[in-house]
Amino acid sequence: MKIFLADVQATLDLGIKLGQTLTPGSVILLEGDLGAGKTTLVQGVGQGLGITESIVSPTFTLINEYTQGRIPLYHLDLYRLEPQEVAALNLESYWEASEIEPGIVAIEWAQRMPYQPDTYLRVRLTNEDNGNRQAKITALHCNINELIAKI
């Protein structure tokens, strides 16, 4: 599914709907060039979950956790990592959630991941030269009909 994102609020609104709808254990893999709007979308997810803390890019911290909302939000950014380093991170511990409370896992620069969870939402954000921004959402091995109905 393709969604046209006319302005920052449109990107936030898409994230808000995801934050309101997704269930614990959901993984959002965010792909897109520098400045495509990945962090903005996660800020929307945070709003949709009811998180009032400001959500900042975990480019240096790698992961930020927000536990204030409906369910936890785990926000990761793999920008600075090589695929071998990503492999060593044991990312599955976030979606398997054996030692943490299950929540939404949102991963920026997911194209750096050498492996993916069994089910996930892939959100590819593009920002064309003419200023057109778009999100292309694909559900991998999961059913998002209910979700799509709300978007």
Binding site for ligand ATP (CB under 6 A): 5, 7-8, 10-11, 32, 34-40, 57, 108, 133
d(CA 148, CA 55): 25
Considering only the stretches 4-12, 47-55, 67-75, 102-110, report the one whose residues sit in contact with Mg ion under the rule CB under 5 A: 102-110
The residue behind tokens 């003419």 is 130
User: Smallest gap, in angstroms, from Cβ of residue 39 to Mg ion?
Assistant: 3
d(CA 63, CA 102): 15
Encoded tokens for 124: 């590819």
Using CB distances below 5 to 8 A depending on partner kind, what does residue 19 bind out of ligand ATP, Mg ion, none?
none
d(CA 41, CA 14): 7
User: Any contact of residue 11 with Mg ion (CB under 5 A)?
Assistant: no
User: Any contact of residue 57 with Mg ion (CB under 5 A)?
Assistant: yes
d(CA 41, CA 53): 15
User: Smallest gap, in angstroms, from Cβ of residue 77 to ligand ATP?
Assistant: 6
- Residues in the site for Mg ion, rule: CB under 5 A? 38-39, 57, 108
